[in-house]
Structure 1
Amino acid sequence: MEIFLPQSAHLTIGELARRTGMSVSAIRFYESRGLVRAVRTSGNQRRFMRADIRRLSFALIAQQLGLTLSEIEAELSLLPQGRAPNPQDWQAISVRIRGALQARIAMLEKTRDLLDGCIGCGCLSLAKCHLYNPNDRAARAGAGPRFLLGDRAQDFEDVE
């Protein structure tokens, strides 16, 4: 579908790449995933809305925060097409992802605190650790990083 827009309302893919710091191939990838939508000129060239600068910038920031591509797609699908997101749009995203970010922060803090203990010990292995997990008692609770999943070393203390 050919759409005619005023020259100032759209950007070439190269201009969008320069404005966002992304490669052209990355923009094409995000376009293929529906994060941005190009219109085509009569010469079949892509043209992007200026609002796509913000959409792509959000994607870059969200990746740095640890959001998955699926989570980013879901958030961007709720933004309006054809206009720049307004402060209320961004506030709604902030509210929705705040809980997920807090959970990630808590996991990182817990990992940091446990890692400090392991580095002090030197073994770096819960299977061998005589401080946190003697005789690999944590394995009885199931697979995975038991302490990072919320289990405590004292949960596994028993008389042998």
Structure 2
Amino acid sequence: MITFRTLAELRDSVGQHLGHSDWLTIEQDRIDEFARATGDHQWIHVDPSRAADGPFGATIAHGWLSASLLPVLTKQIYSVDATMAINYGVNKLRFPAPVRVGSSVRAGSTLIDVSEQGDAVQLIVRTEIAVKDAAKPALAAETVGRYYLREAQ
């Protein structure tokens, strides 16, 4: 894992691939908990019997569940030594392939841009969540975060 402590370190890393997270297996319990939290109980996510005969052959994780894994996966790749971090948004987000129950996923991130925004440093990071043994990623995102660095610039 890479820890950025200064604006200079961040700027020097623009365009660089930062690494990969560990693999995380997506179990039905996680999918069901996400369905309860969001109210999205579509059968392709929560009904294993019906989903077995559906287009994916099993239940699949919600796309937004994949997106919600970004913090837990990317914190294994990089961190910023900051007093506070804020999710500012997503420039791009796509779900090219499903995550079938029991599949393992991992993230890989590239730092795209660093800019100063008032007292904060804004990072744009491109992250893909890959599914083990799958041709396409489950998620491709360009996230925007703002960090208030500990070290004076």
Q: Same fold (TM over 0.5)?
A: no
Answer 1 or 2: higher relative contact order, Cα 8 Å, separation at least 6: 2
**Larger helix fraction of residues:** 1
- Name which one, 1 or 2, has greater alpha-carbon Rg: 1
Give the TM-score taking structure 1 as reference length.
0.27
